[in-house]
Homo-oligomer: A and B are copies of this chain.
Amino acid sequence: MKLKPIGIINSPYKKREDAPRQGRYSDEISEITVFDEYVEGLQDIEHKKHYYIFYWLDKADRDKLKEIPPGKTEEKGVFSIRSPVRPNPIAMCLVEIVKIEGNKLTVKWLDALDGSPLIDIKPFWAETDCI
């Protein structure tokens, strides 16, 4: 099970300390560049405004199974929290599209560090993705 980087994320967050705990609470803008060989997959992307962005947490620890969440004092299992620390460090973040120009998507709410590899883009569907 090998992932292919399909693009790259450029964001104002250079270090983990710079990133908001939740991108949703920030209006900072990030730019997603989809590599040329995957651009065809972007067809019709302009029909929706909200997407889940999947990216690779290339700096995350993959060997820890427990972590203390920010602001807490007790360890929790990584599958019960949203920590970047997990065996498969895939991040998922709901974003709002601000602008689309060719292979570049300008978005808000994204919490990725600058330079994170893009893995997937999926449209948000409230009826199945939410309670």
Using CB atoms and an 8 Å cutoff, list the residues of chain A in contact with chain B.
1-6, 22-24, 34, 38, 40-45, 47-48, 50-52, 54, 56, 58, 62, 65-66, 75-82, 86-88, 90, 92-94, 117, 119-131
**Contact between chains at B130 and A126 (CB < 8 Å):** yes
**Contact between chains at A80 and B48 (CB < 8 Å):** yes
A36 to chain B, nearest CB (A): 12
**Contact between chains at B124 and A41 (CB < 8 Å):** no
**Contact between chains at B42 and A94 (CB < 8 Å):** no
In the bound assembly, the distance between CA atoms of A91 and B93 in angstroms comes to 15
In the bound assembly, the distance between CA atoms of A94 and B126 in angstroms comes to 11
Select one of B3, B5, B75, B127 contacting A24, CB under 8 A.
B127
